[in-house]
Amino acid sequence: MDSQFNRHRRLRRTANMRNLVRETHLHVEDFIYPIFVAEGQDIKKEIPSMPGIYNLSLDHLTEEMDEVVSLGIQSVLLFGVPLEKDACGTQAYHEHGIVQEATRLIKEKYPEILVVADTCLCEYTDHGHCGLIENGEILNDASLELLVQTAISQAKAGADIIAPSNMMDGFTIAIREGLDEAGFEHIPVMSYAVKYASAFYGPFRDAAGSTPQFGDRKSYQMDPANRLEAMREAESDLMEGADFLIVKPGMPYLDIVRDVKNNINLPLVTYNVSGEYSMVKAAAQNGWIDEERIVLEMLTGMKRAGSDLIITYHAKDAAKWMNSHK
Ligand code: PBG
């Protein structure tokens, strides 16, 4: 046959043939599952815009962790919902802050589980910004000191990975040096290196009560229109000693994921954020989409784009579906 075209379909003919040539695979170990730990007693409050995701007090954390562990998920990312907020986010770096206490509890009961601590002030400040404020402006360098204290207190509580999400300049090197000086040179930094000022964080801010009380985050988070700037941010974090880089959000930014993956040789983490989750859930609840297929396709797309790991609220559902197909 002197055919004029290629027979691509040969490799798609049967399920096993397709399995044989599949290039991208999702693994449950790829997932980092975010959990909102709330200060107080007997709290299990579903976040209205994030069906299936809860604010949980410590007395409900064990049942959540039992499920996470039984599904084979090995990493969780902790966010705190404190009872008290103030101008300098004291509860972020308090020895008995909610994330510190949750970390101790998880590491005691599930020592093998990796606890990733989100290092930011916005859940703990009364103004809702990620740094200190003076005359309506964010104080970059003064905020770094508090972020370093936060990271050290999280490491002291047993966090396995520090994940700073605040987008102050220099946070990676400041935290790296602070951890080293405090004896935590073995604790990696998973930097939110490339974090856009995104409307997709809306539901998260409902969950964490961290909506800025004035202004927005555009002076520290990135302009969604920029691509080259993402490389500058990623290069800075590489030089400053990051061990992992996060790109955030996920789905609308997979070009950035690929750029970073092609240019920087560090494990790359994509954050499939709250708004992405909410959109899928809303459509699924309306019966408009096939949730399982949509979610697994999205997560596969993130890996194909270059993600090594994915922070996702879909982790438990995806793990259930993946385990049932084994
Ligand atoms: C804290 C932080 C935010 C998210 C992760 N860490 C909120 C923000 O920057 O406003 C968003 C995560 C999500 O939307 O799922 N700075």
Query: Residue 251 falls within a domain, yes or no?
Result: no
| Residue 165 alpha carbon, nearest atom of ligand 1 | 16
pLDDT of residue 326: 72
Cα(201) to centroid(ligand 1), Å: 6
Q: Is residue 75 part of a domain?
A: yes
Residue 4 within any structural domain of the chain? no
Has 12 been labeled as part of a binding site? no
| Nearest CA residue ID for atom 2, ligand 1 | 165
- Nearest atom in ligand 1 to the alpha carbon of residue 311 is 15
> Ligand 1: does its nearest atom lie under 6 Å from the Cβ of 238?
no
* Residue 124 Cβ < 6 Å to ligand 1: no
Give the bridge partners for 54, in sequence order.
Answer: 46
Element (H, E) at 106: helix 98-109
> Is the C-beta atom of 171 inside 6 A of ligand 1?
no
Tens digit of pLDDT at every position of the chain (326 positions) = 567 999 999 999 999 999 999 999 999 999 999 999 999 999 999 999 999 999 999 999 999 999 999 999 999 999 999 999 999 999 999 999 999 999 999 999 999 999 999 999 999 999 999 999 999 999 999 999 999 999 999 999 999 999 999 999 999 999 999 999 999 999 999 999 999 999 999 999 988 888 899 999 999 999 999 999 999 999 999 999 999 999 999 999 999 999 999 999 999 999 999 999 999 999 999 999 999 999 999 999 999 999 999 999 999 999 999 999 87
Residue 252 falls inside a structural domain = no
Q: What's the pLDDT at 2?
A: 64
Give the Cβ contact number of residue 229 at 10 Å: 14
301: how many CB neighbours lie within 10 A of its CB?
Answer: 16
- The type of residue at 202 is G
Ligand-binding site membership of 153 (annotated)? no
- For residue 204, the CA-to-ligand 1 centroid distance in Å is 6
Q: Is 201 in the pocket of ligand 1 (CB under 6 A)?
A: yes
Does the annotation list 233 as a binding residue? yes
Q: Which domain holds residue 196?
A: 24-245
Task: Indicate the number of domains in the chain.
Answer: 1
Residues annotated as catalytic (active site), given as ranges: 195, 248
Q: Determine if residue 88 is labeled as part of a ligand binding site.
A: no
298 lines ligand 1 (CB under 6 A): no
This complex has an ipTM of 0.96
How remote is the CA of residue 262 from the centroid of ligand 1, in Å?
A: 25
pLDDT number for residue 325: 83
Residue 15 lies in a domain: no
Atom of ligand 1 nearest to the CA of 203: 14
Report the pLDDT value the prediction gives residue 97, as an integer from 0 to 100: 98
Asked if residue 253 is part of any domain, the answer here is no
Q: Is residue 157 part of a domain?
A: yes
| 122 carries a ligand binding annotation | yes
Q: Look at residue 271 in the predicted model and tell me its pLDDT.
A: 98
Identify the CATH number of the domain in which residue 76 sits: 3.20.20.70
Please state the pTM of the whole predicted model.
0.97
Residue 273 within a domain? no
Contact by Cβ (8 Å): 197, 216: yes
Q: Write the residue with the smallest CA distance to atom 5 of ligand 1.
A: 165
Q: Measure the CA–CA gap between 103 and 110, rounded to whole angstroms.
A: 10
CA atoms within 13 A on the CB side of 49: 17
Q: What pLDDT does 209 receive?
A: 86
